[in-house]
Amino acid sequence: MKMVALSLRLPRTLKGYAVLSLVVVTSILVLFALGVVLSYGLAVNRLSRGIGQTMFYGADGSAWFPLEEHRRDVPMSRISGYLRDAVVAIEDHRFQTHPGLDPIGIGRAIFRDIKARRLEEGGSTLTQQLARILVTGSERSAERKLRELLYAVEMEQTLGKPRILQLYLDNAPWGPDGLCGAEAAAKRYFKRPALKLDPAQSVWLAAMLHNPAAELEKWQRTGQIDLARAKWVAEGIRGVPRAQRESVQKAVEKAKFAPPA
């Protein structure tokens, strides 16, 4: 039986080496891109199964108590519709239409940075905020920001809008000492579950999201949060009749809530 020997011949010309180099580099980049996409997809897929409570367990395997006692995961059906709408209104009013990134918001943020002559956080969609909360952290670096953008796009493709909003409402920071999520915030500030929040309370909580610690300090010191911001939230609520939105605005203007102890 005659054996056939196979051999790889090196290019004989400079053009041949250039082509070979291009093929090698392209192959490496494609493999790297596939690896990145796969790793981000797997990470986001884990989020689709939920975050859950972190528990301490005894030696016999029985649950003792949750580590994250200031966060409570609840389904969307147990969160006030007013709170959902108010959060979208103030944090990302184009949430239902963008693919995870908001070019208009990014453009405005860049303009503000140039005008202020310094780098400021801004232009992040609700999906990007969720990626920052759950995955990337808040370090100010180009590499982290790029990862945040990639995760945001993957989340939109894998999870969908309802799941993204639920995860955000379950994990958004709402105060000091690790207070996270709408359910924990509603019980901490208003002594009721998130489903039972009235319209003014819902707007109040949404208005706190941009800086919960500062708003809480102002609330405890003066008896009010930033009412101008709260009114802005109420005015921005969409998907409700005009008369209903005006009713919410009036309720916010008259609202006086006892600060939490």
pLDDT tens, the chain, 261 aa long: 555 454 456 566 766 656 656 666 676 655 554 554 555 554 555 555 555 554 444 445 554 444 444 567 889 999 999 999 999 999 999 999 999 988 887 777 677 767 666 555 556 899 999 999 998 888 888 888 888 989 999 999 999 999 999 999 999 999 988 899 999 999 999 999 999 999 999 999 999 999 999 999 999 999 999 999 999 999 999 888 889 999 999 999 999 999 998
Amino acid 28: pLDDT: 63
Q: How far apart are the C-alpha atoms of 102 and 194, rounded to whole Å?
A: 29
pTM given for the model:
0.73
Residues in a beta bridge with 63: 57
Amino acid 72: pLDDT: 72
Whether residue 154 contacts residue 45, with contact meaning beta carbons closer than 8 Å, is answered with no
Q: How far apart are the C-alpha atoms of 199 and 240, rounded to whole Å?
A: 12
Q: Which domains does the chain have, with CATH numbers?
A: 71-254 (1.10.3810.10)
Residues in a beta bridge with 65: 56
Closest CA to 175 of 189, 193, 165: 189
Q: How far apart are the C-alpha atoms of 86 and 201, rounded to whole Å?
A: 10
Amino acid 48: pLDDT: 52
Amino acid 186: pLDDT: 96
Q: State the Cα angle at 216 between 214 and 221, rounded to 5°.
A: 95
> For the range 236-243, what are the long-range contacts, defined as Cβ-Cβ under 8 Å and sequence gap of 24 or more?
236/89, 236/90, 236/93, 237/82, 237/85, 237/86, 237/89, 237/203, 238/85, 238/88, 238/89, 238/93, 239/85, 240/85
